[in-house]
Amino acid sequence: MRLLRLGPAIFFAKGDLKISGELMKPEEAFKLAKELETIIVLGDLAVLIKEHPWKVLADLINFKQSLTIKPAAPIIIVRVPDVKKGMMSLKEKLGGKILEPREAIIKSSPSDTLVLITEKPLTRALSFEDIKGALIVPKKFHDVYRILVLEIPMVMIEAKPEWNEIIIKLYDTFENYRENIERLVLTIEDLDLGLIVAEGWDWDYPRPLLKVPVYKLKLITWESPERIKFLLKGLEYKGYKRLCDIDVIVEGEKLSWIHVGKFSSKFEMALKARKELESMLSKEVLERITELEEKLFKMESRNQSEPGESGEYGK
Query: Rounded to whole angstroms, how far apart are CA atoms 160 and 162?
Result: 6
Sheet architecture: strand order including 210-221: 195-207, 210-221, 164-171, 245-250, 253-254
List C-alpha distances in Å: 180 to 88, 186, 187: 41, 10, 11
For residue 311, what pLDDT is reported? 44
Q: Are 11 and 164 in contact (CB under 8 A)?
A: no
Is the confidence at residue 78, as pLDDT, over 90?
yes
Q: Percent of the chain at pLDDT above 70?
A: 96
What local confidence, expressed as pLDDT, does residue 304 receive? 65
Domains contained in the chain, CATH given: 4-159 (no CATH), 164-306 (3.30.70)
Question: What letter represents residue 273's amino acid?
Answer: A
Asked whether the predicted pLDDT for residue 134 surpasses 80, the reply is yes
| Statement: residue 244 has pLDDT above 70 | yes
Q: On the CB side of 172, how many CA atoms lie within 13 Å of its CA? A: 24
Nearest to 256 by CA among 231, 220, 230: 230
The CA distance from 125 to 223, in Å, is: 20
pLDDT in tens, 254-268: 999 999 988 989 999
Q: Is the pLDDT of residue 302 over 90?
A: no
Question: What is the mean predicted confidence (pLDDT) over 79-108?
Answer: 96
What is the reported pTM?
0.85
